[in-house]
Amino acid sequence: MKLNDKAIYSPEYNIEKIITIETKTAALVLAVCQEKSLLTCHFGGKLDNPESYIATGKILKGEELPKSISAFGGSEHNATLRITHADQMISTELIYTTHVIKKIDNNRVETIITLKDKLHHLHVELHYLAYAAEDIIECWTVFENNEAGVITLHDYASFELAISNQTADYHMTSFFGLWEREASIQEEKLTFGIKTLENNFGTWSSFGFNPAFLLSTEGKSHEDFGEVISGAYAWTGSWKIDFNYNFNKLAHDSVQRQLLTVSATNQTVAADYHLNQGKSLTTPKFILNYSNQGTGKISRNFHQWSRQYNLRDGDSPRPIVLNSWEGAHFDYNEDVLIDMMDGLVKMGGEMFVLDDGWFGENEFARDSIYSGLGDWQVNRSKLPNGLEYLIEQAGKRDLAFGIWFEPEMVNPNSELFKQHPEWVIKQPERDNILYRQQLVLDLSNPLVQEHVYQSVANILEQHPGISYIKWDCNRSFTNFGSQFLSKNNQSHLWYDYVQGLYSVYHRIEKNFPKVILQVCASGGGRIDFGSLKYHHEFWASDNTDALQRVYIQWGLSHIYPAIACANHVSICPNHQTGRTLPLKFRFDVAMSGRLGLELKPSDLSETSLNFVQEAVKSYKLIREVVSKGDLYRIMSPYASDYSILSYLCEKKQKLVMFAYKLNHLLGQLMPTVKLKGISPSKSYLIEEINLRNNQPSHCLQNGVVMSGSDLISKGLRLNLNEEYDSAVITFIEHLRD
């Protein structure tokens, strides 16, 4: 046996291989040393010569390199991988075996690095899919058990990034909040210790915290400058992201070591996973993003990548929707719905969506939250002519038709529950725990997956005129347990549920490719890149109060693209807050994403209806710019009394700016607004749109042609002089005489 304490006290790195994963401006550099350890050498800006950057030979104390995946039981005191092997050994030591690089196209390259345990037939594949133009690296891990028996994965991160021996001033930004108050922003300095963002809801991925973060390495983050590392976890279930800022090695010397390890996993509480011989587990994907131009560039990277690769039909503008919920709730009939359609036609809208309450029969009729979930038959008492009649009426009005589903759930007061009580998530012998008067169906069970799929597919097959589904999910796991999984595999439920959900999503996408899918979970409970892969958009929040939506949409904009963010104008006083806001302000806020309506048109006055007609026309003029444009945040509602942002679409040669005044103080003067992203060498015609009748422009340069240079350096003068004043201003490239 070789006895050597150099690994701890005096390490030497005889580098044999350097593996570089690169994007346009960023690089993740890994190295294989003579002892076959895989080390992380660098993540950040692209290096001209990685070989000269990596130290070799005897390493100075304090300059040790961390392993790319830290395993429990070796020399690491902080590990993200912990396994009990088939022989019950609890330590793991991974060594490099091989790697391959696959060029997918001119923008994408995948690097796959294979490691194995020194003593066991455990193989670990590290996958890195680099998107050059977007500065994105998609990361995931595959664990394969070739041991003679079952292994248990206790901790199994999708990705681990270790940043060692830096004296950086790390500030981490997270997006927190619960129902009706999603995506609030908080920024904090990371100090020694572990900071954890975590979600244990099971079905909801983005309540508590959204599974994403920003990490500034140079003090507090800035919109337009500074190095920022960002990550988003593509998983529609429970997850954990750790920021472990520690002393790295413990050695008998006086060197101050610092190591920040960022890791992301779907493994939270009671989530051990048992792998039989010959089986493998693929972790969720972690989306790694880099910018040396502040948080604004991070957002544009995410948005461009998502629209191209991780959002269904990401280049197709979305229809203007009227959803029936806040206008009618459960209390409607055919005449009420057709009257709403007529109102939508007058407004210039494009799609009518029937929300909750259309299904369940007889004693299980869905007239409240107490019954009907699971019984996806049309309620003929409420809708005697069925969905086909409503679809026909919508078609006569040149409207598309959509419908609400919550197929993962069941009410105890339903035919389905009476037939299959064994299909719900619960612990044996324990009472059911109701939440919102419903239970969760166990999607780890293939029979339940088939039922959930058929619940939706049958309605779509019987009614081919349905072109949109709002897929809701109104409760989380409680009474944790599966009546399908074996006693030894109860902890698999966290993972297997989501995989079952994804299999249903995939079948719907494959078999009904033209149907638009919105992901909704009590509002914004499922906003993550895992769900967006199968959906066209998300419902940002059940809170439709435009003032609070400014903050919700601002937070979400850091990660998710505007085309995917469904923003609806609702009635006042607002159903959630009781606040009354100007109709123009409500529209201007909603127009900065996918515009929709959440009201009964007959509740609007004739004057308001006339304004809505013009507002919808205005939105159609800018919809493509908002949908496809690059976002530039200009003035934050967290740092001022204003919220100002813009979208620049170079293809359309147009920029659209949204400006909102959130708070007014006596004598307050509004600062000039300096544009971002436009070309200083071009000129732009300025025009404010969506003004009320005879309302003067808020822009002193309205109708004027200005140079890009002046708009960038001097700025625009706006007179938002009253609380809840707002403006939508277009800048169109103008040829100089």
Between 51-65, 100-114, 296-310, 368-382, the lowest mean confidence (pLDDT) is in: 51-65
For residues 28 and 135, membership in a common domain is answered with yes
| pLDDT band, residue 391 (cuts 50/70/90) | very high
CATH of residue 675: 2.60.40.1180
CATH of residue 39: 2.70.98.60
For residues 234 and 345, membership in a common domain is answered with no
What Å distances lie between residue 249 and 8, 262, 538, CA to CA? 8, 17, 44
Question: What integer pLDDT is reported at residue 10 of this predicted model?
Answer: 59
Nearest to 402 by CA among 315, 327, 323, 458: 323
For residues 333 and 262, membership in a common domain is answered with no
For residues 149 and 241, membership in a common domain is answered with yes
| Apex 696 CA angle, 602 and 663, nearest 5 | 75
CB burial readout 633-660, b (16+ within 10 A) else e: bbbebeeebbbbbbbbbeebebbbbbbb
- Angle between helix axes 334-347 and 606-628 (nearest 10 degrees) is 70
Residues 493 and 425: beta-carbon distance below 8 Å: yes
Dump pLDDT digits (tens) for 402-429.
999 999 999 999 999 999 999 999 998 8
Residue 482 included in any domain: no
Strand 466-471 relative to strand 516-519, pairing: parallel
With a cut of 50, say whether residue 221 has pLDDT above it. Answer: yes
For residues 27 and 46, membership in a common domain is answered with yes
| pLDDT band, residue 33 (cuts 50/70/90) | very high
Q: Which of 605, 628, 651 is the last residue of a domain?
A: 628
Residue 618 included in any domain: yes
The C-alpha atoms of residue 317 and residue 542 are separated, in whole angstroms, by 22
The C-alpha atoms of residue 82 and residue 69 are separated, in whole angstroms, by 11
Question: In 3-state terms, what secondary structure has residue 309?
Answer: helix
Q: Retrieve residue 195's tokens.
A: 């900071």
Nearest to 698 by CA among 657, 732, 664: 657
Residue 422 included in any domain: no
Residues 455 and 403: beta-carbon distance below 8 Å: no
For residues 547 and 644, membership in a common domain is answered with no
For residues 192 and 222, membership in a common domain is answered with yes
For residues 603 and 655, membership in a common domain is answered with no
Residue 62 phi/psi, 5-degree rounding, is 95, -10
Dump pLDDT digits (tens) for 536-561.
999 999 999 999 999 999 999 999 99
As a whole-number percent, the residues of the chain with pLDDT over 70 amount to 97
| pLDDT band, residue 1 (cuts 50/70/90) | very low
For residue 156, give every residue at least 6 positions away whose Cβ sits within 8 Å of its Cβ, in sequence order, or none.
81, 83, 141, 143, 265, 267, 273, 281, 283
Question: In 3-state terms, what secondary structure has residue 332?
Answer: coil
Residues 289 and 230: beta-carbon distance below 8 Å: yes
For residue 486, give every residue at least 6 positions away whose Cβ sits within 8 Å of its Cβ, in sequence order, or none.
none
Dump pLDDT digits (tens) for 565-599.
999 999 999 999 999 999 999 999 999 999 999 99
With a cut of 80, say whether residue 7 has pLDDT above it. Answer: no
With a cut of 70, say whether residue 311 has pLDDT above it. Answer: yes
Residue 489 included in any domain: no
| pLDDT band, residue 51 (cuts 50/70/90) | confident
Q: Which of 263, 283, 309 is the last residue of a domain?
A: 309
Nearest to 234 by CA among 114, 136, 88, 379: 136
pLDDT mean over 48-52: 86
Residue 238 included in any domain: yes
CATH of residue 370: 3.20.20.70
Which ranges constitute the DSSP H helices of 351-474? 386-396, 415-419, 446-462
**How many beta carbons lie within 10 A of that of residue 184, not counting itself?**
17
Residue 426 included in any domain: no
Dump pLDDT digits (tens) for 167-185.
689 999 999 999 999 999 9
With a cut of 90, say whether residue 480 has pLDDT above it. Answer: yes
Q: Which of 613, 628, 643 is the last residue of a domain?
A: 628
Question: What integer pLDDT is reported at residue 309 of this predicted model?
Answer: 98
For residues 461 and 603, membership in a common domain is answered with yes
The H or E element that residue 337 is part of is helix 334-347
| Apex 665 CA angle, 660 and 669, nearest 5 | 70
What Å distances lie between residue 224 and 294, 296, 300, 445, 639, CA to CA? 5, 6, 12, 48, 15
The C-alpha atoms of residue 430 and residue 426 are separated, in whole angstroms, by 7
Question: In 3-state terms, what secondary structure has residue 730?
Answer: strand
Residue 439 included in any domain: no
Alpha carbons within 13 angstroms on the beta-carbon side of residue 48 total 0
Number of folded domains that form the chain: 3
- Domain limits for position 670: 633-734
Nearest to 236 by CA among 516, 494, 512: 494
For residues 57 and 172, membership in a common domain is answered with yes
Q: Which residue has the higher pLDDT, 506 or 52?
A: 506
Q: Which residue has the higher pLDDT, 651 or 185?
A: 185
Question: What integer pLDDT is reported at residue 5 of this predicted model?
Answer: 56
pLDDT mean over 217-222: 95
Mean pLDDT of the chain: 95
Residues 720 and 642: beta-carbon distance below 8 Å: yes
For residues 339 and 390, membership in a common domain is answered with yes
Between 242-256, 323-337, 515-529, the lowest mean confidence (pLDDT) is in: 242-256
Question: In 3-state terms, what secondary structure has residue 260?
Answer: strand
694: alpha, beta or left? (left if phi > 0; alpha if psi -120 to 50): left
Residues 246 and 163: beta-carbon distance below 8 Å: no
With a cut of 70, say whether residue 118 has pLDDT above it. Answer: yes
Nearest to 345 by CA among 602, 728, 605: 602
For residues 94 and 175, membership in a common domain is answered with yes
Alpha carbons within 13 angstroms on the beta-carbon side of residue 211 total 33
Residue 358 included in any domain: yes
The structure tokens 């166990």 sit at: 442
